[in-house]
Amino acid sequence: MEFPGLFNYWIAVVLMMTGFYIVIAQGNLIKKVVGLNIFQVSVFVFYISMSKIKGGTAPILDEGIEIYTNPLPHVLILTAIVVGVATTALALALVVRIRDAYGTIEEDEIGKLEQEEET
């Protein structure tokens, strides 16, 4: 197997796991949102790298070009990017509301406040 081989998938996996790690190991809510973003971008990279054909060009019709890169994943990811930003905005709005209600955006402190309310 020559160099690129499956390397593109591995990069996507490493990025995805980085995002996953941020989401589960960090207590700060804004950092969690950033981690979710990294997770998303890894999926985008995965799709886009699948659509690439060796020797192909960007999928814009022109004379004398035989091989085009597959346009379908590009369309899906275009949609996904915009939807991703919409969900990020919603998550950030939730963070702002949580800050209003609890005065903190650290998960542990929110948990402590909840416990104190119960007792």
Partner 1 sequence: MTVTAFALVRLRNLFAVVMLSGIFSLLAAVLYVVLDAVDVAFTEAAVGAGIATVLMLGTLALTTGVVKEAPRKPLAALLIVSLTGALLIFGTLDMPPYGDPNAPIHHHVAPRYIEKSGSEVGPPNIVTSVLASYRGYDTLGEVTVIFTAAAGILILLGGRRRPGKKRRTAGKTGG
Could you say which residues in the range 8-47 bind partner 1, by CB under 8 A? Answer: 8-11, 13-22, 24-28, 30-31, 33-35, 37-38, 41, 44-45
52 phi and psi angles, rounded to 5 deg: -70, 135
Report in angstroms how near the CB of residue 64 gets to partner 1 at its nearest.
Answer: 13
Q: Please name every residue paired with 28 in a beta bridge, in sequence order, or none if there are none.
A: 106
CB of 77 to partner 1, least distance (A): 5
Residues 56-85 interacting with partner 1 (rule: CB under 8 A):
56-62, 67-79, 81-85
Which H or E element spans position 44? helix 29-51
**How is residue 68 annotated by DSSP?**
B
Min CB(66)–partner 1 separation in Å:
10
- Of 59 and 64, nearer to partner 1 (C-beta) is 59
| In the complex, minimum distance from the CB of residue 46 to partner 1, in angstroms, rounded to a whole number | 9
Question: Would you say the C-alpha torsion 57, 76, 36, 102 has a positive or negative sign?
Answer: positive
What SS3 state is found at 65? coil
Determine the residue type at 69.
T
